[in-house]
Amino acid sequence: MNPQNPVICVGEIAIELARGGDGRFGLGFNGDTFTTAVYLARAGIPVAYATAMGDDPYSNGLVALAAAEGVGCDWVIRVPGRLPGLTLADTARTGERQFYSWGETAPARELFELPNWGLVAEALVSARLIYFSGITLSLYSNLAIGRLLAVLELARQRGVKVAFDGNFRPRGWKGDVARTRTVFMEALKRVDIALPTYEDEAVLWGDPSPEATVERMRAFGIGEIVVKNGANSAVVASADAQEHVPVPQLVVPVDATAAGDGFNAGYLAARLSGATPVAAAGAAHRLAGEVIRHCGALMPRTGAAMH
C-alpha cells in the first residue's frame, strides 16, 4: 500500500463542555479516534478522519480544528440541519472525570447509512491503515456495523492494515454486554494490530491478566497485539515473540484523559515509520507520558514532539 495514502481514523468528534478549576465550563471537543488522528498528524503521518457532522457553527469549528491540526477532512460528511453530539465532563470527588453524553441524534452515528456512505467506503479500501475503536462501533446500528465490517474485509484484501482499540465504555453499549462481545468478536476477525487496554478487557471478558488478553486475541489470528496496562509494562506480542515493555518514567498525571489515545498514536506513528513493535511501544509510552502532564486530550503543540 502506498505510504502516501493516508491513515484513516473512523469515529466521532463531539462538543465537550469541561468544568475547570473555577467551576465554570469551557468549550472543547471529545473523540478518542480523533485525538489519535491529531497526534498521528503531529508526528508527520498523513492522516484523515471519517465521520459525519452537521452544518452548524460548532460542527464548522470542529472541522476547522481538524484542518488546523493537519487532519484531512475529505471524509467528514456534512448533513444539513443536524448538530454534533455533546459531552459534559465533570470531575467527581475521587478526582476521576465523569462523562455524560447527549449524542443519540448525532450524524456520526449514521456515517455508514447516509446516501453517500459509499464514498467513505471507497476511501477506506485505499487507505494505508484504518484505525477505529470500540467507541466507534458503539455508535452504529447492526446494519452500519455490517457495512463497516464488509469494508474492512475488502480493505485487507487490498493490503490495507487495520488497527483497533477495544476502548470499552459500557454506557455507549447501554450495558448490553452480549451484543458488545458479539460485535467485538466480529471486528477482531478483521484486525491486524490490536491495541487493547487491559482494564477494559478484564471488565468485558474477565481476562485475569494482560497475557490472557494476548492469548484470547491471538485466537482471532491477530498478528500484532499491544496490551496497555496503565503505569505497568505494556505487553507486546507479535507472531512468535512476547515482551514486556516498561513505562520509561512514572508520571503523576495532571489529567489522564487521552493517555491511551496518545499511546496508540505514538505506537502507530513509530510502526508506520519503520520501528519494531518493541521500539514502537517505547515511543508510545513516552507520548502517553507527555499527554498526561497536560489538561485535556490535546497538549499544546510545543510539547507535541513524538521522538
Per residue in 140-164, pLDDT tens?
Answer: 999 999 999 999 999 999 999 999 9
Which three cell numbers mark 249?
518514567
Is the predicted pLDDT of residue 3 greater than 70, yes or no?
no
- Strand order across the beta sheet in which 72-78 lies: 72-78, 47-53, 7-10, 129-133, 161-165, 193-194, 224-227, 234-237, 242-245
Strand partners of residue 30: 14
Report residue 306's pLDDT band, with 50, 70 and 90 as the boundaries. Answer: very low
Average pLDDT over residues 259-283: 93
CATH of the domain at 150: 3.40.1190.20
More confident call, 58 vs 103: 58
Say if CB 129 and CB 117 are below 8 A apart. Answer: no
Give the Cα separation of 251 and 269 in Å (integer). Answer: 22
Q: Which domain holds residue 186?
A: 7-303
Which three cell numbers mark 75?
471524509
The residue annotated as part of the active site, out of 32, 200, 255, 261, is 261
Closest-CA residue to 148 (of 199, 176, 179, 184): 184
Which three cell numbers mark 138?
458503539
E strands in the chain: 7-10, 14-19, 25-30, 47-53, 72-78, 86-91, 97-102, 129-133, 161-165, 193-194, 224-227, 234-237, 242-245
16 is a domain residue: yes
What does pLDDT average to over the chain?
A: 90
Is the predicted pLDDT of residue 303 greater than 60, yes or no?
no
| pLDDT tens digits along 209-235 | 999 999 999 999 999 999 999 888 899
177 is a domain residue: yes
17-21, 103-107, 117-121, range with the lowest pLDDT? 17-21
Give the pLDDT of residue 122. 97
Query: What one-letter code names the amino acid at 189?
Result: K
Which three cell numbers mark 104?
443519540
Total domains, the chain: 1
| pLDDT tens digits along 65-113 | 999 999 999 999 999 999 999 999 887 666 567 788 898 999 999 999 9
Give the Cα separation of 204 and 198 in Å (integer). Answer: 10
11 is a domain residue: yes
1 is a domain residue: no
Instruction: Give the up-direction half-sphere exposure of residue 56: CA atoms within 13 A in the CB hemisphere.
Output: 14
Give the pLDDT of residue 304. 43
Is 261 an annotated catalytic residue?
yes
Give the Cα separation of 284 and 216 in Å (integer). Answer: 23
Closest-CA residue to 129 (of 277, 11, 226, 269): 269
2 is a domain residue: no
Average pLDDT over residues 176-185: 98
127 is a domain residue: yes
153 is a domain residue: yes
Phi, psi of 208 (to 5 degrees): -80, -15
Phi, psi of 244 (to 5 degrees): -95, 130
In eight-state DSSP terms, residue 233 is: P
Give the Cα separation of 173 and 181 in Å (integer). Answer: 10
